[in-house]
Chains A and B, each alone.
Chain A
Amino acid sequence: QKEVEQNSGPLSVPEGAIASLNCTYSDRGSQSFFWYRQYSGKSPELIMFIYSNGDKEDGRFTAQLNKASQYVSLLIRDSQPSDSATYLCAVTYRSGNAGNMLTFGGGTRLMVKP
């Protein structure tokens, strides 16, 4: 059973702080890692992806991947109230076909308080 685990939260941070969201995965064959943001009643929106160990930065967002520890994280700098949402971690695995479907964690709800 391939599993992706996230703390459901809520994670509450003050405006302007750094929000740190974490995700662990069970299968060492995991290939690609994605962070999606989902506002209440909306569909998931891709915000970051990372394939290699280390950090990847895009604006206020930094994704960190540690394959040895099977751990991926998302840092949000200068958090804004508009960042309040559920953040979904998703992983693809090598498979017999070319599909590479996403396996999602349950999501972490982030609340940024003004």
Chain B
Amino acid sequence: GAGVSQSPRYKVAKRGQDVALRCDPISGHVSLFWYQQALGQGPEFLTYFQNEAQLDKSGLPSDRFFAERPEGSVSTLKIQRTQQEDSAVYLCASSLAYGRAPQISYEQYFGPGTRLTVT
């Protein structure tokens, strides 16, 4: 079946511009995550949605970063007044399961990412 899709795949923004990055999760996946990956590093958590509710935004680096998932499906990550340090790959992942029981599967499947370059 279709995997996680993201658009655009590449985005070049001038410093100070606003950008919006879109994520289409796997159909039926309740959980949606955004991660930021700098060159040569592992992804770092930004924010998490369970359906339309944003339950954790502790990883957002500043108040210039904003995410939404209004209908519990597609999500948008918005970055206002972009800075050069925002240049990175932004990855979206979705997961079918959620909950606290230790044996529930939490596998997350990643989209292709959006490479953002701020000049």
Q: A43-B91, A99-B33, A99-B98 are in contact. Are A92 and B106 (CB under 8 A)?
A: yes
Picked from A31, A43, A49, A95, the residue with its CB within 8 Å of the CB of B113 is A43
**Contact residues, A58-114 vs B (CB, 8 A):** 88, 90, 92, 94-95, 97-107
Is A105 a contact partner of B42 (Cβ separation < 8 A)?
Answer: yes
- Is the CB of B105 closer than 8 A to any CB of chain A? yes
Of the four ranges (under 10, 10 to 19, 20 to 34, 35 or more), the interface on chain B belongs to: 20 to 34
> How far is the CB of B98 from the nearest CB of chain A, in Å?
5
- CB of B42 within 8 A of CB of A101, answer no
Tell me if A25 is interfacial: C-beta within 8 Å of chain B.
no
- Number of residue pairs A-B, CB distance < 8 angstroms: 72
Contact B112–A42 (Cβ < 8 Å)? yes
Chain A interface size, under 10 / 10 to 19 / 20 to 34 / 35 or more: 20 to 34
Smallest beta-carbon distance B96→chain A, Å: 12
State which of B98, B109, B111 has its C-beta within 8 Å of the C-beta of A100. B98
Least Cβ distance of A66 to chain B in Å? 17
Q: Which residues on A sit within 8 Å (CB–CB) of B55?
A: 97-99
Q: What residue in chain A is nearest B92 (Cβ atoms)?
A: A43
| Chain B contact residues: helix, strand, loop or mixed | loop
The contact string, 1 if C-beta is below 8 Å from chain B, for chain A 37-54, is: 000001111100101000
User: Chain A's nearest CB lies how many Å from the CB of B118?
Assistant: 19
Contacts of B100 in A (CB 8 A): 94, 98
In the complex, whether A22 has a CB less than 8 A from a CB of chain B is no
Given A43-B110, A100-B98, 8 other A-B contacts at CB below 8 A? A44-B91, A46-B110, A49-B107, A97-B50, A97-B56, A98-B100, A99-B50, A101-B45
7 residue pairs, one from A and one from B, having the closest CB atoms: A104-B42, A99-B48, A101-B45, A43-B110, A97-B55, A98-B98, A43-B113
